[in-house]
Amino acid sequence: MARTSSPEGALRTTDAEETRLNILDVATAEFADKGLSGARIDEIAERTNASKRMIYYYFGGKEGLYRAVLERAYTAVREMDADNLRDHLEPDAALRDVVGATFDYHNQHPEFVRLVMNENILRGAHVGEIPGIRERNRKVVEHLRGILARGVTNRQFREGIDPVELHMTISALCFYNVSNRYTFSYGFERDMSSPKALARRRMSVIDVIESWCRR
Amino acid sequence: MARTSSPEGALRTTDAEETRLNILDVATAEFADKGLSGARIDEIAERTNASKRMIYYYFGGKEGLYRAVLERAYTAVREMDADNLRDHLEPDAALRDVVGATFDYHNQHPEFVRLVMNENILRGAHVGEIPGIRERNRKVVEHLRGILARGVTNRQFREGIDPVELHMTISALCFYNVSNRYTFSYGFERDMSSPKALARRRMSVIDVIESWCRR
DNA sequence: TCTTATGAGCGAACCATTTCGTACATTGCT
DNA sequence: AGCAATGTACGAAATGGTTCGCTCATAAGA
């Protein structure tokens, strides 16, 4: 990618790079907000420093832009993993950490959740082409497998829990209260966006997972 | 509603009624497939016995049709509830029944799951106007509250589990493996659509809930 | 019974707008 | 000059929604 000739050299990104990122930011918000078919590239272009012409210039079109957005969102998750999949001494503490971090990440990145929701509406039409997702999932599962194994040796955890099932359970619990906040909680007064309710939910999720794994 | 003069009398619905239902069926499939913004009225009309004109005649427009579809889907869930929220003698058996039935319903009605996903993408813009959802949720929570209370009395269940949290946990686990089947399971070989994997997941979900509630 | 008024049900063509994408001209740097 | 970057304006197709007019069953009145 071309660089400016400014004295900062390679450390400084070009204007073009900044434009790309700006477009990606706006597009992420827009796609997360309305989905692929609901988003309008004219609208994205307007909110951008750049023009519609530039979107086509850089990303080729709506689909290309969408894929770039999805890819970057998944990349961010992987970076989060890298920070949080450290090994702890105690299996139960490690498990709590994974669950808590996953819960927090989903809550702090609803746009990621919404992109994934949309991708599922599209039956995963694009997610397959994004490199790194397989590895990401595999890595998480392997991490959980390790925790479970150490927990069993430790006699903290019971035997027979499948790490894939565990991964799925954790994901489901962390995903749902973000993805379904608008349809859930009709009928009983509980605003899932209140910090108090959120904290309680967080505790519950950790508790559910722990109760399941503990012997 | 007008009836035909056919001998069957009140038992037989009119052609108009049949047309409405036919439109609703097709629209349900279409909205579940592509979401509100992704669905095309012309396409719905084509797959229908009726014409586009009739869709506007009966439902007023795209939004009206969407709302009618959503409403009917939720009505169907309530009917399912009515069948399954019977009281059992043993709290733990009752709990297993609720979880199992919920799991099965979601799996057998992916179109319902997809409609709810889409409604959440739309930030619940229409779900609030549909009567009966509040009551539905309230009824489920009250049922769970009863089970939990009896289980505590019974000394089968531990104290302090909030029925709303329980409802949310069950919903999340049953919803997720349908809603996120396309983005989950990249990286490890597990086809969630295989009967075997599904049965295993079902068992896991019941197990998770039971482990959490049991003292 | 015969006639007519009424309104639900319906088809086909049509309209206005939106929306994705592109052609072309222009700027500015090297 | 020559190439990358970019703004403007436009085209073609898709899309939500409407207009016009026709059929037919039934109810009301003579």
Instruction: List the single best residue of A182, A190, A213 to mutate versus B (max B Cβ within 10 A).
Output: A182
Nearest to A172 among B128, B177, B190 (CB): B177
Is B54 part of a structural domain of the chain? Answer: no
How far, in Å, are A185, B98, B129, B170, B196 from residue A189 at the CA level? Answer: 7, 22, 17, 18, 39
* A198–chain B Cβ distance below 8 A for any pair: no
What is the predicted pLDDT for the residue at A20?
87
pLDDT tens digits for range B106-132: 999 999 999 999 999 999 999 988 877
Is B182 within a domain?
A: yes
pLDDT for res B211: 97
* Crossing angle (nearest 10°) for helices A62-84 and A133-154: 20
| Structural domain contains residue B18 | no
For chain C, which bases have at least one atom within 7 A of a protein Cβ?
8-13, 18-24, 30
**Interface mutation vs chain B, best among A186, A193, A201, A206, most B CBs within 10 Å:** A186
Looking at per-residue pLDDT, the higher value among A162 and B20 belongs to A162
pLDDT of residue B40: 94
Domain count within chain A: 1
Q: Is the CB of A54 under 7 A from strand D?
A: yes
Residue A174, judged by CB atoms within 10 A of its CB (0-12, 13-18, 19+), counts as buried
Q: Binning pLDDT at 50, 70 and 90, where does residue B12 land?
A: very low
Please report the pLDDT score of residue A1 as a whole number: 34
Q: What percent of chain A has pLDDT over 90?
A: 70
A19 within some domain: no
Task: Check if residue A61 sits with its Cβ under 7 angstroms from strand C.
Answer: yes
In whole angstroms, how far apart are CA A79 and each of A98, A108, A111, A117, A136? 14, 15, 16, 20, 10
Question: Quick check: A54 and A113 in contact, CB under 8 A?
Answer: no
According to DSSP, the residues that pair with A157 across neighbouring strands are A214
Separation CA A189–CA B175 (nearest Å): 22
Phi-psi category of A161—alpha, beta or left, where left has phi over 0 and alpha has psi -120 to 50? beta
| pLDDT tens digits, A18-43 | 788 899 999 999 999 999 999 999 99
CB distance B127 to B133 below 8 Å: yes
Least confident of B8-22, B133-147, B151-165: B8-22
The answer to the question of residue A157 being in a domain is yes
Q: Shortest CA distance to A61 belongs to which of A126, A134, A128?
A: A126
Contacts of A171 in chain B (CB under 8 A): 176, 180, 184
pLDDT greater than 70 at residue B14? no
CA gap B32, B44 in Å, rounded: 12
Give the span between the Cα atoms of A6 and B19, in whole angstroms.
Answer: 69
CATH number for position A177 = 1.10.357.10
Q: Is residue A46 part of a domain?
A: no
Instruction: Please determine, for residue A8, whether its predicted confidence score (pLDDT) is greater than 70.
Output: no
Question: Is residue A188 pLDDT above 80, yes or no?
Answer: no
The answer to whether residues B164 and B141 touch, using CB atoms and an 8 Å cutoff, is: yes
Range of the domain at B197: 70-213
Under an 8 A CB cutoff, do B141 and A187 touch? yes
**Spatial distance between the Cα atoms of B156 and B148, rounded to a whole number of angstroms:** 9
The per-residue pLDDT for range A59-74, each reduced to its tens digit, is: 999 999 999 999 999 9
Interface of B with A in 114-133 (CB under 8 A): 114, 116-124, 127-128, 133
Give nearest nucleotide to B54 (CA–C1'): C10
| Chain D bases near protein CB atoms (7 A cut-off) | 4-9, 14-20, 25-26
Residue A59: closest CA among A32, A21, A31: A21
Residue A64: inside a domain, yes or no? no
pLDDT of res. B109: 97
Q: Which residue has the higher pLDDT, A82 or B97?
A: B97
Q: Answer for the pair A31, A118: CB distance below 8 angstroms, yes or no.
A: yes
Question: ipTM of this predicted complex?
Answer: 0.87
A132-139 average pLDDT score = 84
| B61 belongs to a structural domain | no
A141 in contact with chain B, both atoms CB, cutoff 8 A: yes
